[in-house]
Amino acid sequence: MLKKVTELPLANSIILLPFLGYYEESGFNQYNLLKGCGLSPQLIRPDNFIPTFHLCKIINDVSVKTRTDNIGITASQLRGYPSIHPTVASNIPKADSFFDLFLFLSSNQTLQGSHFKLWLTYNNDTCYICHKGQIPYNALGPEQTEYFRTLTLLNVIKSFLGENWKPETLSLVSPLAPPHDIIKTTRSLKIYTNLSYSCIPVNIKLDNIAEKIAISQLNAATDPAAFERLIMATETFIEHGDLSLPFLSEVFGCSQRSLQRILKSQGSSFQSIIKHLKFRRAKKYLHQEMSIEHIATKLGYSEPSNFARAFKKHTGHAPSFFHQHNYK
């Protein structure tokens, strides 16, 4: 969660459906609740986006009036109240692989709103599903939206990996002690809190990721969507020690020439993409006040000095500049 909101984040109003459903099932009328935010039940639909401030206020009001402390958890357990955009929900069962599933979710996350970010990283046979809300922690109930989002993502993963699947751990932004219903979703019963973003680790080998990955959207070399998918996949593996064009061609099950055509159609090259993504990742880590030595190691540089020189050449500033200015 952000300490301050630099944009005006919007959320898809259907996220409220399970909360409003629980409110009605508890004997309350949602009309008056929504009226206070200038809304009505007819406006809670997939094509209507509302300010995230109103989303948090309504969720908090439901929690207070129903006397339900962890409303985010309760709402996530209700059935019959779809909170995922129908375009996204209908495509989840069609995914040919776990990796393809989350490439699709990442590239279509704006259908859920601009109030959160979803991305993937991959390291040591573990795929990390990362998410972060754009809600200040002085807002009402941000931890409940985080619980709800985390449990919703877990349900999506289970639809692909099986109902008995559990992550080893979970990482949360909320500094609060996690409720038992969150703790019991992990194998180790361990939750890390007060972090800069939320994270769900999934142990899955690269061979399994590549086994059935759908590459049909990569075949059209002039399609901008193919380029976006390639960039997204490259960013996922940006810290992988073997990242190369041959490596990605194996991941996607296509020839290197096919990937080169996609890059060329957008006036780009693999090396320029790698540099851009590595230094974008480096800026993110610098913003998190990670040491320059640690960043250099994570991004595959043998010496911090080599990383510092390359970083300055690419950005015009030394890494220390971004540390000093806490610049993103």
Give the separation between CA 124 and CA 116, rounded to whole angstroms.
26
Structure tokens belonging to residue 154: 């877990």
> Quick one: 280 and 320 in the same domain?
yes
Give residue 148's pLDDT.
96
> Quick one: 195 and 258 in the same domain?
no
Handedness of CA 80, 85, 86, 91 (dihedral sign): negative
Q: Is residue 3 part of a domain?
A: no
Q: What is the DSSP string of 66-134?
A: HT-TTHHHHHHT-SS---S-HHHHHHGGG-SSHHHHHHHHHHTGGGTBSSEEEEEEEETTEEEEEEEE-
Neighbour count for residue 118 (Cβ, 10 Å):
18
Domain count, the chain: 4
Phi-psi region of 78 (alpha: psi -120 to 50; beta: other; left: phi over 0): beta
> Quick one: 198 and 92 in the same domain?
yes
> Quick one: 252 and 280 in the same domain?
no
> Quick one: 102 and 199 in the same domain?
yes
- CATH number of the domain within which 320 lies: 1.10.10.60
Give residue 309's pLDDT.
92
Give the separation between CA 58 and CA 16, rounded to whole angstroms.
8
Q: pLDDT means per 10 residues in the chain (328 residues)? A: 50 95 96 90 91 88 95 95 91 77 83 86 85 70 90 92 94 94 97 95 67 43 64 80 80 77 88 91 87 90 90 88 65
> Quick one: 126 and 219 in the same domain?
no
The domain boundary, picked from 42, 76, 110, lies at: 76
Give residue 253's pLDDT.
61
Q: Is residue 298 part of a domain?
A: yes
Q: Is residue 142 part of a domain?
A: yes
User: SS3 of 50, please?
Assistant: strand
The domain boundary, picked from 252, 268, 284, lies at: 268
Q: Is residue 4 part of a domain?
A: no
Give the separation between CA 303 and CA 148, rounded to whole angstroms.
42
> Quick one: 99 and 202 in the same domain?
yes
Q: Is residue 5 part of a domain?
A: no
> Quick one: 116 and 188 in the same domain?
yes
Give the separation between CA 296 and CA 290, rounded to whole angstroms.
10
> Quick one: 263 and 281 in the same domain?
no
Identify which of 235, 227, 287, 228 has the alpha carbon closest to the alpha carbon of residue 261.
227
Phi-psi region of 192 (alpha: psi -120 to 50; beta: other; left: phi over 0): beta
Widest CA span in the chain: 64
Give the separation between CA 91 and CA 64, rounded to whole angstroms.
35
User: SS3 of 170, please?
Assistant: strand
Q: Is residue 181 part of a domain?
A: yes
> Quick one: 165 and 241 in the same domain?
no
> Quick one: 136 and 175 in the same domain?
yes
Give residue 106's pLDDT.
83
The domain boundary, picked from 188, 206, 224, lies at: 206
Residue ranges of E strands in the chain: 10-12, 49-51, 116-123, 126-133, 169-171, 190-192, 198-203
Give residue 181's pLDDT.
96
Identify which of 165, 91, 90, 184 has the alpha carbon closest to the alpha carbon of residue 127.
165
> Quick one: 135 and 190 in the same domain?
yes
Q: Is residue 192 part of a domain?
A: yes
Give residue 6's pLDDT.
39
Give the separation between CA 14 and CA 20, rounded to whole angstroms.
10
Give the separation between CA 108 and CA 190, rounded to whole angstroms.
30
Q: Is residue 239 part of a domain?
A: yes
Which residue range is the domain that position 309 belongs to? 272-325
Residue 57, burial from CB neighbour count under 10 angstroms (0-12, 13-18, 19+): middle
Give residue 170's pLDDT.
98
Residue 270 near residue 258 (C-beta atoms within 8 A): no
Report the Cα 49 to chain-centroid distance in Å. 19
